[in-house]
Amino acid sequence: MHLIFMGPPGAGKGTQAQLLAALWKIPHISTGDILRACVVAKTDLGQKAQSYMDRGELVPDELLMDIVQERMNQPDATAGWILDGFPRTVPQAAFFDKLLCNVGGGGSSSGKDCDLRAVNLDVPDNILVARLLSRGRQDDNEETIRRRLQVYREQTEPLIEFYRNREQLVAIDGDRPMELVTAELQQTLSGDS
């Protein structure tokens, strides 16, 4: 099972990814966590990433792809994975698609049928704003949250179309109690994997 979790800030994708990863005994791969782990472990890729981060720059797509690929080739990812936080743009998704089809996502170089599913947790903006405000983080005011959501929508709408056109998109209504969302994800993803 190879899943990408997409959704706006506050949609619950991290929570759902962790629950399903534990249930299916596959790793939940968060690009932020991978970057931090590579930096701490002082891997070659981690040191390259650190140099960009130290300058306050974004880690380039190619380097991020190398880091994701390295993580996906670890033994615990051979049975599958849930990727959270990547890809964020259509160019990243297209590159990732090529990578998966060529290397197989589990370390095999035989090529495979790219059994990737992109899960989009859909939640209305007013619900997201209320959820994020209830977290009570200092930098979360309504104006900041709405700006983050606008940026997310601008970057991600094309990504949703990218996966819809490839018939890899699974749209889930995330505006329900957590248990119902988890149950629908289990049923939908287990039923057609």
Q: Which of 46, 45, 49, 44 is nearest to 60 (CA)?
A: 49
The tens digit of pLDDT for each residue in 119-155 reads: 999 999 999 999 999 987 777 789 989 988 988 888 8
Q: Is the overall model pTM greater than 0.85, yes or no?
A: no
User: Could you give the angle at which helices 61-72 and 90-103 cross, rounded to 10 degrees?
Assistant: 40
Cis-peptide, bond into residue 87, ω within 30° of zero:
yes
Q: Which of 135, 153, 164, 166 is catalytic?
A: 135
Q: Which of 88, 131, 146, 176 is catalytic?
A: 88
Q: Is 164 part of the annotated catalytic residue set?
A: no
The tens digit of pLDDT for each residue in 158-179 reads: 999 999 999 999 999 999 999 9
Q: Is 135 part of the annotated catalytic residue set?
A: yes
Cα separation of 175 and 177, whole Å? 7
Q: Which of 137, 147, 153, 166 is catalytic?
A: 137
Q: Is 55 part of the annotated catalytic residue set?
A: no
Q: Is 88 part of the annotated catalytic residue set?
A: yes
